[in-house]
Amino acid sequence: MLSWFASHEQVPAPIEVDAELDEVRTDWQRWIRQASVPAGHEREVRRSLATLRALTFRDTGGIVAAATTSLPERIGAGRNWDYRYVWLRDASLTLGTLLHHGLTHEAIRWRAWLLRAVAGAPADVRIVYGLAGERDLHEREIDSLPGYRGSGPVRIGNGAASQYQADVFGELFIALRAARRHGLAEDGWSCNLQRAIPVYLERSWRRPDRGMWEVRGAPRAFTCSRAMLWAAFQCGVEAVEGGLDGPAERWASVRDELRAEIERDGVDRRSGSFVQFYGGTAVDANLLLLADIGFVAPDDPRMIATVRRIETELMPDGLVLRYDASAELDGIAGGEHPFLACSFWLVEQYARTGRRAEAESLMRRVLACAGDVGQLSEEYDVAAGRQTGNTPQAFTHLALIRAADTLADPLATLADRAPRPGAG
């Protein structure tokens, strides 16, 4: 067993390998037994929860998006990113997932990291942070390294740290709402945050952003981003109704204005589906989240039309692409493979609209992409039968857990999901 220590520190005592392994094994087994998991996919959910824990930095509670950097989304295509950081989006989804499965201690630590990281002026909120909340994640290329199978460049840091991605505000508020519903007491930080951010968004919600997929092309009015802003104001209104001090009527007015705008500008009049961004006609897999956050019902005709287009335009190999990467959108050359989290989102949509057999079939298809230890990466190359992108991917495992939860309880959405029976 290898040990690491800083050169200025004393050499640590040798580790008793067998005793250490026994202690670690006992600790992990004790931990996973605390989790309440849905029937039907217990093994996969436990593995995913364990993966999230393994991606957690013990000293701060931060959970990295993946354990690797620069593993290509497509061999030789240049879409190679450093994922060894903490994305606010993943953080927010993780908080609700841990609480839903009874892992309250970890959720409390995670919320503390979340509130520390985003403390300060709302305009300064970043979409990605270092493990201890660092904000300076300057992206650079290491020319001396060839990259995996020659797929350079190898990147350190992530340029997305300087992007504006509006959807993170909605995901943050959804997570804080989940914490309240699971009985976590509000503190001064969380109350101040929930008061300050809607005030900031009242002035800035029309600002174009780079979207959930961190496009490096021009900022746009992404439909999913605007829907997440709607969710932020909706959660803000609910927080005031629950006792938080704030101008609920004013926030409700902005919420309703957002809904009206999305229903006017975020829908393709020919197909009746939601569109990726205002003024465009393309579809995006992240539009599946509009039902999950409660913006529309899963069986809303616009959602049904959106699913129909996703099946036709974004599933060439039976798994779901994020969007049409050949379009002039993200400013990056080269295509990509199906994004595994998106297929899990479609499992949820199928289950909620009575397409149970198709939901189970797609769930099996995505789970079959896992490696021999049950872990999943970012994407999957169907033709080559191999995972691609950084691994293991927290976002993918979060989506797996949520899909399993939905198959067990199709009526529950992210907007109203309660603690599982027996959860602490």
Tell me the pLDDT tens digit for each residue of 274-306. 999 999 999 999 999 999 999 999 999 999 999
232 touches 201 (CB < 8 A): yes
Q: Identify the segments of the chain with pLDDT beneath 50.
A: 418-424
Global pTM value? 0.93
Nearest Cα neighbor of 240 from 255, 261, 226, 257 is 255
Angle, helices 340-352 vs 394-408, to 10°: value is 10
Query: What is the per-residue pLDDT for 419?
Result: 41
Q: How far apart are CA 287 and CA 275, in angstroms?
A: 8
Phi and psi based region of residue 172 (left: phi greater than 0; alpha: psi -120 to 50; beta: remaining): alpha
Q: Where are the beta strands (DSSP E) in 260-300?
A: none
Domain boundaries, the chain: 64-408
pLDDT of residue 138: 94
Burial string for 206-227 (b: 16+ CB within 10 Å, else e) reads: eeebbbbbbbeeebbbbbbbbb
Each residue's pLDDT tens digit, 29-46:
999 999 999 989 999 999
- The CATH number of 64-408, from 3.40.50.300, 3.40.50.360, 1.50.10.10, 3.30.70.260, is 1.50.10.10
Distance CA 16, CA 399 (A): 38
pLDDT for res 416: 53
Whole-angstrom distance, CA of residue 147 vs CA of residue 365: 30
Tokens of 2: 């290898």
